[in-house]
Chains A and B, each alone.
Chain A
Amino acid sequence: MILRADGVTLGYGGRPVVHDVTLDITEGGVGLIGESGSGKTTLARAFLGLLRPMSGTITFNGKDLRTAGMKAFRKAVQPVFQAESLDPRMSVARSIAEGSRDRAAVPALMEQVGLDPALAARRPHQLSGGQRQRVVIARALAVRPELLILDEPTSALDVTVQARILELLEGLDAERLLITHNLAVVERLCRTSHVLFAGRVVESGPTGELLRRPAHPYTLALRDAVPRLGGQPPVARGRTEAAPASEGCPFRLRCPLAVPECESAPEPREVAGRKVACHRAELVLSA
């Protein structure tokens, strides 16, 4: 385990948006799944040391991030943001060498991520989306990180390019924390996943199991909302427009299975090999 969040609450301007999250980034890839605004990116920023927790601790190799040596941390943990995260004024070579300051290593890094080194002098707007994403990956790899925090690395790419980028990510040595709303990508890259809703982890467990047999109605709603080719049309379960409830289970105003008991906040508990924060988990599993 490299990184661990322990009872972490995060927010902006004193207003919490991620509440009391405890999770480990373990081997085999960890996925953070959830809709826009669920707190995935906020959590990723905290794991990257860009955001201080309001409460709780984030530990890096057992040391509190507030006291850990940031130099070693910066080398060990690198983000892979979306393809648009390149400075528009910097050439590919300068972007890739920014952390390592080793321009000589740029051609090899470009080849490693499947880019022609002849593109080194180009600027981001002179590249395709897929090429830009590869540059972002090469920039992160330049400092030989132990862990990559992948924040929606494929969401802006078309499906064929997406497939190639996923292949590339799968083949990398570094561990990964993947933040996405794309369940297929999580299934492919992550052994463990955590589902976030309204800044709370509502379900955690092995990715395959979690997606095949969700135990939380929100995970079920996410899974069933995925469009499929030639199959059932996607299903929007519950009242998808309802805002999260401020008290009790945050999902209860959307949940088709909500009962009066849901007005009290559910504690995470072990159900069928995963942790679920839902009073109706058994019912969801049996559905």
Chain B
Amino acid sequence: MTVVEPRRRLPRMPDRLAAFGAVLLVLIVASALFAPWLAPYEENDPRPLDKLLEPSSSHWFGTDHVGRDILTQILYGGRTSLAIAAAVLAVSALVGVTLGVVAGYAGGWIRDVIMRITDIFLAFPALLLSLALAVVLQPSVTTVILAIAVTWWPWYARLSASVAASVSTRSYVDAARCLGVPAPVIVWRHVLPNSITPVLVQLSLDAGGVILTAAALSYLGLGAHEPTAEWGLMVQQGQALFTTNWWVVTFPGLAILVTAFAFNVLGEGLRSALDPRRTVIR
């Protein structure tokens, strides 16, 4: 018998959109990583004589109230904002998915205890809890990461628990139990991989939200502070100038918007791309 090898389907419309999101994201990340080579000026290089210059050929995005080049600040600020997003999502997902998958698989009192703890965290409005934590701790990038992660992980725990509980009832999990596979191995081999797709999609959808929340905290003076370049902080510093010097707020705001959009589009694409049933035989 000749075995015909499976082939991947041609990309469909959502995939192309996801690819666009991915390319955009790669460009954003690369521009942040290579900021020292791409930026036309030094980071945090105030030139009082050049303050609040309009966008021009020498300052594409103009300059801010102390004469720093806004394009340069955006490129360096991307490093902070993306690092915050990555750290928050990594911490939240690690804590949330671990607890959620254990709760979903184990069920019974273990699930009840984990889910009640989750409920306690969910009972507080996220931004309010973040604000409270940020006030208690010293304003810094680390504070922002901790404050947002504390309010973000319960959502992953709840999502993972519900998916894992459903996966745990599948007959391949029963078959593995009957084969004597230990519970931690079943969770690692069957439950986690089959529960992770919605979490990955949610992570990519949330990345934009984390950047916006981090920006909000910085905007309120509770996150990054001078001289750290950060998009939210840039918006905060430029808000009073919006009516007279629009570029000071607009370009950092656009950077947040475009990054959030790229993550969202990528998340939508991941939803279909991670479906294991997408490979067909021709």
Q: Spell out A's residues near B (CB within 8 Å).
A: 45, 48-50, 70-71, 74-75, 77-79, 81-82, 84-90, 95, 98-99, 116, 118-119, 122-123, 125-126, 136, 139-140, 143
Contacts of B172 in A (CB 8 A): 85-87, 90, 95
B193 in the interface (beta carbon within 8 A): yes
Q: Are A125 and B277 in contact (CB under 8 A)?
A: yes
Contact A118 to B3, CB < 8 A, known contacts A81-B171, A85-B172, A88-B194: yes
Query: Nearest Cβ in chain B — how far from A135, in angstroms?
Result: 11
Q: Are A77 and B3 in contact (CB under 8 A)?
A: no
Of the residues B179, B276, B279, contact of A74 by C-beta under 8 Å: B179
What would 6 more interface pairs be, CB under 8 Å, given A87-B194, A99-B180, A99-B181?
A75-B180, A85-B171, A87-B190, A118-B1, A126-B281, A139-B175
CA–CA, A50 to B180, complex, Å?
11
- Closest residue of chain B to A75, judged by CB? B180
CA–CA, A116 to B174, complex, Å?
26
Task: Tell me what chain B mostly uses at the interface: helix, strand, loop, or mixed.
Answer: helix
CA–CA, A177 to B177, complex, Å?
19
B178 in the interface (beta carbon within 8 A): yes
Contact A71 to B175, CB < 8 A, known contacts A87-B190, A123-B276, A123-B279: no
Contacts of A85 in B (CB 8 A): 170-172, 174-175
Return the 10 tightest CB-CB contacts between A and B, nearest first. A99-B179, A85-B171, A74-B180, A118-B3, A81-B171, A87-B172, A125-B277, A88-B276, A126-B6, A89-B193
Contacts of B194 in A (CB 8 A): 87-89
Q: Are A98 and B174 in contact (CB under 8 A)?
A: no
Of the residues B1, B174, B178, B181, contact of A77 by C-beta under 8 Å: B178
Contacts of B189 in A (CB 8 A): 87, 90
Q: Spell out B's residues near A (CB within 8 Å).
A: 1, 3, 6, 170-172, 174-181, 189-190, 193-194, 276-277, 279-281
Contacts of B179 in A (CB 8 A): 74, 78, 98-99, 139, 143
A-B contact pairs, 22 of them (CB 8 A): A48-B174, A48-B178, A49-B178, A50-B177, A50-B178, A74-B179, A75-B180, A78-B178, A79-B175, A85-B171, A87-B189, A87-B194, A88-B194, A88-B276, A89-B276, A95-B172, A99-B179, A122-B6, A123-B276, A125-B279, A126-B281, A139-B175
Query: Nearest Cβ in chain A — how far from B211, in angstroms?
Result: 31
Contacts of A123 in B (CB 8 A): 276, 279
CA–CA, A126 to B130, complex, Å?
47
CA–CA, A81 to B171, complex, Å?
7
CA–CA, A126 to B4, complex, Å?
10
Q: Are B176 and A98 in contact (CB under 8 A)?
A: yes
Contact A116 to B180, CB < 8 A, known contacts A85-B171, A89-B194, A126-B281: no
CA–CA, A176 to B279, complex, Å?
35
CA–CA, A78 to B190, complex, Å?
18
Contacts of B178 in A (CB 8 A): 48-50, 74, 77-79
- Closest residue of chain A to B176, judged by CB? A98
Contacts of B171 in A (CB 8 A): 79, 81-82, 84-85
Contact A70 to B177, CB < 8 A, known contacts A81-B171, A85-B171: no
Contacts of A98 in B (CB 8 A): 175-176, 179, 181
Contacts of A50 in B (CB 8 A): 174, 177-178
Query: Nearest Cβ in chain B — how far from A143, in angstroms?
Result: 7
Query: Nearest Cβ in chain A — how far from B102, in angstroms?
Result: 19
CA–CA, A259 to B129, complex, Å?
69
Contacts of A84 in B (CB 8 A): 171
CA–CA, A79 to B170, complex, Å?
13
Query: Nearest Cβ in chain B — how far from A36, in angstroms?
Result: 16
- Closest residue of chain A to B275, judged by CB? A88
Q: Are B276 and A125 in contact (CB under 8 A)?
A: yes
Q: Are A88 and B277 in contact (CB under 8 A)?
A: yes
Contact A81 to B175, CB < 8 A, known contacts A89-B193, A119-B3: yes
Contacts of A143 in B (CB 8 A): 179
- Closest residue of chain A to B185, judged by CB? A98
Query: Nearest Cβ in chain B — how far from A214, in angstroms?
Result: 31
- Closest residue of chain A to B190, judged by CB? A87
Contacts of A45 in B (CB 8 A): 174
Query: Nearest Cβ in chain B — how far from A97, in angstroms?
Result: 10
Q: Are B174 and A71 in contact (CB under 8 A)?
A: no
Contacts of B1 in A (CB 8 A): 116, 118
CA–CA, A87 to B191, complex, Å?
10
CA–CA, A45 to B171, complex, Å?
11
Contacts of A70 in B (CB 8 A): 180
CA–CA, A273 to B277, complex, Å?
51
CA–CA, A95 to B173, complex, Å?
11
Query: Nearest Cβ in chain A — how far from B21, in angstroms?
Result: 24
CA–CA, A90 to B72, complex, Å?
48
